[in-house]
Amino acid sequence: MFIQITKMQLLTRVKFFPQQRHFWRKKIIQIIPIIVGIVAIYFTTSGTSAIAYKTSWIGNSFGGGDRWVQIKIEGMEVTRDGKVYTNSIWDEAGREVGIYENGNVIGKAEDLHGWGRHGGKAIAVDGRYMYVAMQQSAEKKAKAQGKDYPPPGTTWYCVRRYNLSGKPAPFSGGRGWDKSMLIVSKQDVITGLAVANHRLYVSDAATNRIRVYSTRNFGKQVSNFPVSHPGKIAIDRRRNLWVIQENTHKILHYSPVGKQLSGTISNAGKPTAIAFDRRGRLLVTDNGVRQQVLIYDVRRTPKLVGTLGIKGGVYAGVPGKVEDLKLYDLSGVGADDRGNIYVNSGLHGGTDLRKFSPGGKLQWRLLGLHFVDNADIDPQTDGLDVFAKQERFSMNYSKPVGKQWTYKGYTLNPFKYPQDPRLHTSPTSVFFRRIQGKPFMFLTDMYNSFLEIYRFNAKTDGEIAIPGGMFVGTNGRGGKAISGNWPPLQPNQGEWIWRDRNGNGAFDKGEYDSSQDYPYLGGWWVDSKGDVWKTLRTQDGVGIRHYPVQGVDVKGNPIYTYSTMEKQKTPNIFTDLRRIEYIPETDTMYLSGFTKEHPATRDDSKWYGSELVRYDRWSTKNPRLRWRLQVPYNPQAKPELLTASMSVAGDYVFLVTFKTAEVYIYRADTGKLVKTLKPGKEVAGESGWIDIPYGIRAVRRRNGEYLVFVEEDWKGKVIFYRLNL
């Protein structure tokens, strides 16, 4: 649209009182160039900036800023007044230690992120201080500056003292740059902490000892005693210790001076956390098949007197269906003086922190479910079902921002499927597809080294994603594609495709199809028909692999074979092919990588490339180059400007940048830029880096609305944008 405004048109359309005419006509003549400039800028950019969008998110109870729920809580303590103190080895945004109350975030421990510092697996709290298990690694620059850091090759496993507001509390003889660290071990992590009667008890599993320190003269070790494989610790009203023995899954009983007492608990399943409630009962999280909090009367011989949660946890009833009293992945427990019980799930990556009344009714719940993760929709439900690598969400887009999602399904079952690749690898990105009308989930990782395949069977497994197949590329160092003991029976060299032919979700003999190919992967793609595509960073100019789906077998798995694989030439535009998306409905191919004109400045296996091209009539003998686009790419910029991921949906191509997390939207027919998106105020205008090769997933709903999901691992969520184009 073009609008021309002349000086005469503006003057003749403005009316004045006679005594003001001369003054205002003079002023208008002065400001006309400014007005015309503003109008011109608006109309030449309205094709991009005038498109409205909203930012929202899934997977975290809060949108960002000062409030987010940390990931993977492994240590937890609840104070008498109901404050919850938690510890994680790593939280991308620095909430390794979080403080929660009444369903809200109220604080964190400072200075536990960066400079070689991480959190840990245990935490204890008294009336004045937090005692935080953490680790401090060597830092050459800091050591050179004369600060107190470990020498190269050494890690300190420490208890760091904090005041209750989260600031480090130095002490005489303390170590570290601020003298707040007590070095317990240089061998392995601290596995348990408890404090009572001016004594701090520390599980030093590396030496099979409980070490006892004074809290009045902190840092002074007053005693120690042997305990084989000590883990989490709880202290009863008599000041006796109860200690999880991690190798036997027993709970041992000791006096304060280390004498072993009677009352060993051997029927607690797989205990991962322990605490006492106001009545002196021992609470134990059983992360075995029961998936419950077990409640013991320990006044005499320990006796199981109650439980919290449905037996079988999230796997009871409809397996994987998330409900208030169905627990899973248990890692923390505690109680306050009113009899409320707090339980955390998080051993497989996400945080699910719940408070229950003394009668077992859910009071509040906090979620922090995502880390290096993204989402995709079930196309059959038009975006009402959204899947991440371990979760299913039900969406209601009429609700307020940040409230559109409801956590409905947990798709991982380590008891029925202990060989589930998600338990042995680190997948990051979801492709959700329908093949012959049946739902399938495909997952790949940060480095494109594999593609995992999952099927669903609601009748037998409810919400659970059943391992059904896997592609693994050739190991560039030779030998097995995946080093170690998992998966069993894999070929000794080359690459392979595994298919669960007998339907038990395990890697068995006779289920591998093997081959030998170029070892350096560029990217994966699963098209709408279920065909798998792979790019290889070859030097021979034949770097595209196409695996047409050969149907679905009798156990419900999609069939792919090397004998039906097609090799296709890399267009000579590219010197290094990285990503691929093929649209079978239009026979359109999108390819990205580095070119002679715009080569890589350094090698990084995760990089997307410097150019994106579109080909029409790809399946014919003479594909037609439709357009060629130089994508955002400037490694010298600060921050460096690199494209991380792409997604094609409807009439548009969506790209997202690595460090700035900006979404660039291009017309699919012309390659012209039409819009850029940035995280809005709804998420405090912030995002972490896009660390994964498929950190963006765009879809068009039937009503024409576009949903654009973007990885946001900084504060434990997935961002999504809603817009009409």
- The token duo for 257 is 């001076």
pLDDT of residue 50: 75
397 φ, ψ to 5°?
A: -75, -5
Distance CA 79, CA 486 (A): 42
Residue 367 scores a pLDDT above 60: yes
Residue type, 577: L
- The CA-atom distances, in angstroms, between 623 and each of 577, 595, 619, 678 are 17, 19, 7, 35
For residues 17 and 644, the answer to whether their CB atoms sit within 8 Å is no
- CATH number for the region 69-368 comes to 2.120.10.30
Beta strand pairing status for 250-254 and 241-245?
antiparallel
Average pLDDT over all residues of the chain: 93
Q: What is the number of alpha carbons within 13 Å of residue 348 lying toward its C-beta?
A: 20
The residue among 6 and 429 whose pLDDT is bigger is: 429
pLDDT of residue 683: 98
Ordered DSSP codes for 642-662 = EEEEEEEETTEEEEEETTT--
Burial of 45 (0-12, 13-18, 19+ CB in 10 A): exposed
Closest to 60 (Cα-Cα) out of 13, 20, 92, 15: 92
Residue 16 scores a pLDDT above 70: no
Q: What is the pLDDT of residues 178-225, one digit of tens each?
A: 999 999 999 999 999 999 999 999 999 999 999 999 999 999 999 999
Residue 32 scores a pLDDT above 70: no
Residue 139 scores a pLDDT above 80: yes
Residue 19 scores a pLDDT above 90: no
pLDDT of residue 470: 98
Residue 24 scores a pLDDT above 70: no
pLDDT of residue 144: 73
Q: What is the pLDDT of residues 476-502, one digit of tens each?
A: 999 999 999 999 999 999 999 999 999
Closest to 408 (Cα-Cα) out of 325, 347, 345, 323: 323
Residue 45 scores a pLDDT above 60: no
- The CA-atom distances, in angstroms, between 567 and each of 232, 517, 531, 538, 563 are 54, 11, 14, 12, 11
pLDDT of residue 417: 98
Q: What is the pLDDT of residues 152-175, one digit of tens each?
A: 999 999 999 999 999 999 999 999
Q: Is the peptide bond before 639 cis (omega within 30 degrees of 0)?
A: yes
Q: What is the pLDDT of residues 569-600, one digit of tens each?
A: 999 999 999 999 999 999 999 999 999 999 99
**pLDDT, mean of residues 148-154:** 95
CATH class, domain 376-724, is mainly beta
440 φ, ψ to 5°?
A: -140, 145
pLDDT of residue 346: 82
Domain boundaries, the chain: 7-50, 69-368, 376-724
Distance CA 343, CA 336 (A): 12
Distance CA 426, CA 432 (A): 18
pLDDT of residue 387: 98
pLDDT band at 49, cuts 50/70/90?
Answer: low
- Exposure string of 483-512, with b = 16+ CB inside 10 Å and e = fewer, is eeeebeebbeebbbbbbbbebebbbbeebb
412: Cβ contacts below 8 Å, ≥ 6 apart: 348, 390, 420, 422, 423, 464, 465
- What's the per-residue H, E or C state across 271-331? EEEEEECCCCCEEEEECCCCCEEEEEECCCCCEEEEEECCCCHHHCCCCCECCCCCCCCEE
Q: What is the pLDDT of residues 607-662, one digit of tens each?
A: 999 999 999 999 999 999 999 999 999 999 998 999 999 999 999 999 999 999 99
% of residues, the chain, pLDDT over 70: 93
- The token duo for 505 is 């979700």
Closest to 718 (Cα-Cα) out of 706, 702, 691, 701: 691
For residues 156 and 165, the answer to whether their CB atoms sit within 8 Å is no
pLDDT of residue 606: 86
For 475, the 3-state DSSP assignment is: coil
Given CA atoms 629, 634, 638, 642 in this order, what sign does their dihedral have?
A: positive
